[in-house]
Structure 1
């Protein structure tokens, strides 16, 4: 049993932090199995300052921008790995163009997706960058602006 002196704010904060760590460490797999569309609806509909809702909004809410540093990418596999990480694709992303199309259609993308150092990527793999641009035009809605910077 856990207890605290609720009149001492430090003890309350400490207890909340311990509970949060416990929940994330002991229920991480269950947390990751939560249906994304359910969570998105929940965070859109619930108006509260609840810590759990805040955590869910951080994980599932639309981000303002995501920046990808293309200067550190030197192969198609690295490109897919970075896209998977930066856009929050699940473990089921198999890192090919077909999967990218599917995941882009199903993922809540940021308001702005910025590719920094695009010319580096275009120089070392021009066919792949052209394919990526085609897929982004095809799959990304007007809610996400894609910017290619040198």
Structure 2
């Protein structure tokens, strides 16, 4: 199956860490046993699912205001993937 070219994730309705992880799990197709924490997110994106070529987050600035720690950790995971696994990482746009 070819790699998904673009995935848009709407973060506008996310108001908690649990909602953020649920949104990411559903959008990126994480397995049912996803642990809903940042270590589990890293494990999922770096080995359990195929990331899209392009990933666009909608409502990023609002999310970063509501959940600054989670926004920072999400960005760190995605940046780290780009550094460690550039051929597998998504090009990410924070909009």
TM-score, length-normalised on structure 2? 0.88
Per-residue deviation, 1:136: 0.9
RMSD (CA atoms)? 1.2
Tell me the alpha carbon deviations over residues 23-75 of structure 1, each in whole angstroms, 9 at most, x when there is no partner: xxxxxxxxxxxxxxxxxxxxxxxxxxxxxxxxxx3xxx411111111111111
Instruction: Give the distance between the partners of 1:89 and 1:131, measured in 2 at CA.
Output: 18
Unaligned stretches of 5+ residues in structure 2: none
Q: Which has the higher helix share?
A: 1
Instruction: Give the distance between the partners of 1:148 and 1:103, measured in 2 at CA.
Output: 20
Matched, 1:142 2:83: no
Matched, 1:111 2:53: yes
The one of the two structures with greater contact order (alpha-carbon pairs below 8 A, sep at least 6) is 2
Instruction: Give the distance between the partners of 2:36 and 2:50, measured in 1 at CA.
Output: 18
Instruction: Give the distance between the partners of 1:68 and 1:75, measured in 2 at CA.
Output: 16
Q: SS in structure 2 opposite 1:99? A: helix
Instruction: Give the distance between the partners of 1:139 and 1:94, measured in 2 at CA.
Output: 19
Unaligned stretches of 5+ residues in structure 1: 1-56
| Larger radius of gyration between Structure 1 and Structure 2 | 1
Per-residue deviation, 1:102: 0.5
Per-residue deviation, 1:80: 0.3
Q: Which has the higher strand share?
A: 2
